[in-house]
Each structure stands twice: as structure tokens, then as C-alpha cells.
Amino acid sequence: MGRLDGKVAFITGAAFGIGKATALLFAQEGAAVAFIDNQEQAGQATADEIHAAGGQSLFIHADVTQSDQVEAAIKQTLAKFGKLNILHNNVGGSTVHDSSVTEAPVEEFWRKMQLDLFGMWLGCRHGIPALIESGGGSVINMSSIFALIGTHKKDAYTAAKGAISALTRSMAVEYAANKVRVNAIAPGATGTERVLKLLQRDGVTNKSLDGQLFGIVPPKDVAYAALFLASDESASTTGHILSVDGGLTIS
Ligand SMILES: NC(=O)c1ccc[n+]([C@@H]2O[C@H](COP(=O)([O-])OP(=O)(O)OC[C@H]3O[C@@H](n4cnc5c(N)ncnc54)[C@H](O)[C@@H]3O)[C@@H](O)[C@H]2O)c1
């Protein structure tokens, strides 16, 4: 028996990285997994991998920053699977263009606000009504350790992730009466292709890895945190920011 048997999940950004690991794990645990991504070929490849393993999935080529596309994707999910129980707002990520408040290009600030924060906001705006209509459910947002500790040269990303954590708590209060739980995950440096490239660029002495007591986090470990928050095992957990950082924030 799977931990998500009979549930329907919607994930943003599952062509690569943590989102892909999570989509595969959710499907393996019995969920029907709908997801959007702006990378068409790689998105379809994730869906094919789920089908090949005997799971159910629906890939929708869409941009998380476009309200009409996110709204349409949620409608397609409801049309195919009939309900929505889990909403995982995953798209985002730090970039090489980010920097301190005084040095980062202004455009980078708005890019991070649009992709990480507005993308999450749109997922909630269109996904939460579907969760409520389905009798309640679980929202899992993607924050970062940089919402919990100070760091250098990532101020636009930090601002977006801090806002995501704050909004996670207020939405937890707002939608509790509708039986919707809202939590977030705050990963440390996680070994996705994108981040491995960034770390290579910065060199092996990258400061963000110094306090991670077990080294870089494997994407599947973040997926398992999402699985807990998605499942009924976390029925009493809401408004929580779950660190998956090998102890970085306590060391
Ligand atoms: N990897 C890390 O070290 C780390 C650490 C802390 C937090 N996070 C967070 O975890 C999440 C996933 O990170 P990741 O490392 O797996 O990233 P990734 O770049 O590997 O994956 C992101 C996915 O989102 C998709 N995507 C990007 N822009 C999109 C758009 N406009 N519309 C639809 N899809 C889009 C990409 O194609 C990709 O499939 C992000 O929110 C990131 O901030 C990651």
C-alpha cells in the first residue's frame, strides 16, 4: 500500500531536479501526479518515466508565472483526475545573476519575485479552491535555508524565499477552516544538476556547504520531506517550515 494511495497531486516544475524526484516518489507512493513545466521535452520524459513504472501522470507544458496557464493546468488536472489533494509549488532557484542589494541588477530582483514568489502565489490562487472543493488537502511550498539564515550575494532570492515562508504561515491560518494545511520545505544545498553547476562555478569551498553535516543533500531526501507533508501522516502539521539541510541551520 502506498502512502499517497487515491490522492491527486499537482506539482510545478518536475522536468528536472527536486520536482522530478518528488513527482516520481509521489507516483511510486500511489498518487496520480499532474505537473507543469516550461521545458516540454524533459517534462514529457518525466511523465513517460512515471507511466513506465506503472504510475499515473499528466504533463502540461506551461509557465508558472502566467496566471491563465496555471489556471488552465489546474482545470485540466481536475478534468482528468476529478479532484486535487496535494499542491506542491516547487519552481524557483537561485541564479548567478543575483547579488547583494547594492550590486544585483534590479531586473534580477523582479525575476526572482516573479518566478519564486509570484509563481507560488499563482499556484495557491488557482490550486487552493480546487483543494477546498475536494474536501481539503495539503499545500507544500518551496522555501530555502536562506529564508532562515543570512548569506552573501543572494539577496533577491533570499527576499523571495523569506516571503514564501511568511506567506506559508499566514495561509496556514487562513485556510485551516477549509481543512487545507500549508507547509514549506527549506532545503540546504541540494545536488540537482542546476546547483551542481553553480557549486562548480563557485569552487569546492562554497560556504553554504560548510555547515551541512552530511554534505550536499540528495534531491530524494527533499522529496521524502514533501512526501511526509503531502501524506495524512502530517495531518496535524501546518504553518511549518521543514529544514532539510543536514543540520546547517543549527550548526
Ligand atoms: N537545489 C538546491 O540546492 C535548493 C536549495 C534550496 C531550495 N531549493 C528550491 O527547490 C526548488 C527546486 O530547485 P531545483 O534545484 O530542483 O531546481 P531545478 O532548476 O533543477 O528545477 C526547477 C524546475 O522548474 C522548471 N521551471 C523553471 N522555470 C519555470 C517556469 N517559468 N514555469 C514552469 N516551470 C519552470 C524547470 O524546467 C525545472 O524542471 C526551487 O524552488 C529552489 O529554490 C533548491
157 is catalytic: yes
pLDDT value at residue 103: 97
The DSSP letter of residue 185 is E
Domain boundaries, the chain: 8-245
Residue-level pLDDT at 117: 98
Which of 35, 37, 96, 206 is the pocket-test mutation for ligand 1 (most atoms within 8 Å of CB)?
A: 37
pLDDT score for 236: 98
What pLDDT, on a 0 to 100 scale, did the predictor assign at position 198? Answer: 85
Cα(116) to ligand 1 centroid in Å equals 9
Q: In angstroms, how far is CA 58 from the centroid of its own chain?
A: 17
What is the structure's pLDDT at 200?
A: 84
The residues of the chain scoring below 50 in pLDDT are none
Cell numbers linked to 6: 487515491
CB within 6 Å of ligand 1 — which residues?
Answer: 13, 15-19, 36-39, 63-65, 90-93, 115-116, 142, 144, 187, 189-190, 192, 194-195
Q: Which residue has the cell 551541512?
A: 212
| CATH topology (fold) of 8-245 | Rossmann fold (3.40.50)
pLDDT at 210: 82
pLDDT of residue 162: 98
Per the prediction, the chain carries an average pLDDT of 96
The residue whose CA has the least distance to atom 14 of ligand 1 is 17
**Position in ligand 1 atom list of the atom nearest CA 143:** 7
Could you tell me if 40 and 27 are in contact, meaning their C-beta atoms sit under 8 angstroms apart?
no
What is the C-alpha to C-alpha distance for residues 6 and 43, in angstroms, rounded to an integer? 23
Distance 198 CA to ligand 1 centre (A): 13
Q: Is the pTM of this model over 0.75?
A: yes
- Of 18, 41, 161, 167, the one to substitute when testing ligand 1's pocket (max ligand atoms within 8 A of C-beta) is 18
- At 41-63, the pLDDT tens digits run 999 999 999 999 999 999 999 99
C-alpha pair distances (Å), 86 with each of 45, 125, 158, 212: 22, 14, 25, 29
Closest by CA to 21, choosing from 250, 169, 217, is: 217
| SS3 of residue 184 by DSSP | strand
For residue range 207-220, list pLDDT tens digits in order. Answer: 668 899 999 999 99
